[in-house]
Structures are given as structure tokens and as C-alpha cells.
Amino acid sequence: GNSVTQMEGPVTLSEEAFLTINCTYTATGYPSLFWYVQYPGEGLQLLLKATKADDKGSNKGFEATYRKETTSFHLEKGSVQVSDSAVYFCALSRSGGGADGLTFGKGTHLIIQP
């Protein structure tokens, strides 16, 4: 079956540091890949997505590239801010948007210190 593995947290960084959160997946066929973010007390919000190999998703300074050869979708940001503190989830779906169900990783708690 499908599965997503992402690095365990919490990850603690200083403001303006470079961020990488690793994500690898196992799936049949050609899934779409997503990063969702959850701020304290809120539901999840889509951060970025990629629907085919070599696509790069980007939003709010975050980027991730769909690497089929390494089955990875690592999240990166060049300079993090305190406001980026949240839980980040990597996910995959069989369909373009995931409307029929997403498979999530366990989440990575990111803490940015001023």
C-alpha cells in the first residue's frame, strides 16, 4: 500500500536558518505529492503540491521537487521566520487533488527561535 515517511521532530532552528524537512514515499503508479501545514489550534492548509515527476511546488518561500528516481519530496526554505513555526505534513494521493483520500506522514513539528 501507499505510505509516507518524514523526518521526526521537533526540529528547532534559529530565525533566518535554512530549512530542510525530508519526505520519502512508497506508492504504486504516479501519485500527486503535497505538503500541508498546521498552525496551533487550526486545521491543515495546503502549502504546495506537485503532480508529476520533476515538478517543483512553491509557496511562501517554501519549495519541494517531485523526485521519482529517489521517491522523495523534500521541503526546503532558504530563510525561516518565527511565523513558520507549525507542524508540517507530507502527503500523497492517487488523484490530482487528493479528494478521494490522502495518505499522510506523521508530521514534523518545526520550532523557529528568534
Partner 1 sequence: NAGVTQTPKFQVLKTGQSMTLQCAQDMNHEYMSWYRQDPGMGLRLIHYSVGAGITDQGEVPNGYNVSRSTTEDFPLRLLSAAPSQTSVYFCASSRANEKLFFGSGTQLSVL
Shortest CB 72 distance to partner 1, Å? 17
Shortest CB 85 distance to partner 1, Å? 18
Whether the CB-CB separation of 110 and 81 falls below 8 Å is answered with no
- Per the DSSP assignment, residues forming a β-bridge with 21 are 75
Shortest CB 44 distance to partner 1, Å? 5
Q: Which is nearer to partner 1, 69 or 100 (CB)?
A: 100
How is the chain split among helix, strand and coil, in percent rounded to 5? 5, 50, 45
Point out which residues bind partner 1 (CB under 8 A). 4, 41-46, 49, 89, 95-107
Q: How far apart are CA 29 and CA 45, in angstroms?
A: 25
Q: Which is nearer to partner 1, 71 or 79 (CB)?
A: 71
Whether the CB-CB separation of 31 and 20 falls below 8 Å is answered with no
Q: Which is nearer to partner 1, 13 or 46 (CB)?
A: 46
Shortest CB 7 distance to partner 1, Å? 13
Q: Which is nearer to partner 1, 43 or 114 (CB)?
A: 43
Distances from the Cα of 2 to the Cαs of 5, 86, 87, 108, in angstroms?
Answer: 10, 25, 21, 19
